[in-house]
Amino acid sequence: MPTYSFRCAKCERTVDVVRPIREHLANPRPIYCCLTEMDRYFPPTGGRAIDNALAGDRHYDGLRATDGTDISSRSKHREYMRRNGLTTADDFKDTWAKAQAARDEYRTTGKGGAITRNDIAETIARMKGAQG
C-alpha cells in the first residue's frame, strides 16, 4: 500500500499515512496540524547512484545462470554468453542500424531490391492499363 507523506508549513512536522490508492483518490482526507491543512510532501529518497540497482551493475550481484554458473559481474555474464553461443539484444545494435538505413534508402530512392505491396499494385495497374 502506498505511503502518503504530509508536512506542516508552520512547524515542519511530517506525517506518513498508509492507505490504498483507491481510497486516497476517492477521498484524500486532508491531514491537519497547527490548525491548518498539511501540504503533500515528497521526501527525498537518498539520491545516491550506488543505491539505485539499475544505475550501475548491482543487478549482477549474486546472479547465477540456470546451470548454476556464476555470472555475478558484467564480464562474467558476457563471457558466459559468448562461451554458450548466446547473445543479448545490445549485440544487434549495429545490425539494426544498418537495416534501418537500408529501409530509409529504399523508401526515399525506391532502390534496394525489396518488393513491396505498393510495387505489386502499381505493376498490376500498369498491366491493366496496357491491356485496356
Amino acid residing at 37: E
Quote the mean pLDDT of the chain. 83
Instruction: Write down the pLDDT at residue 3.
Output: 84
Cell output for 72: 555475478
Percent over 70 (pLDDT), the chain: 86
Give the burial class of 23: count Cβ atoms within 10 A of its Cβ; 0-12 exposed, 13-18 middle, 19 or more buried. Answer: exposed
Per-position DSSP letters for 64-77, written without gaps between them: B-TT--B--SHHHH
State pLDDT tens for residues 1-54: 788 889 999 999 999 888 888 888 888 778 899 999 999 888 776 666 555 555
Instruction: Write down the pLDDT at residue 80.
Output: 94
> Residue 127: what are its φ and ψ, rounded to 5°?
-65, -40
State pLDDT tens for residues 56-114: 677 788 889 999 999 988 889 989 999 999 988 878 889 999 999 988 887 787 666 66
Instruction: Confirm whether pTM is higher than 0.85.
Output: no
Smallest Cα–Cα separation from 34: which of 14, 17, 16, 4?
14
Q: Any idea where the domains of the chain sit in the sequence? A: 3-41, 53-86, 92-131
Helices and strands of the chain, counted as H and E runs: 4, 5
Residue 104 near residue 97, CB atoms below 8 Å: no
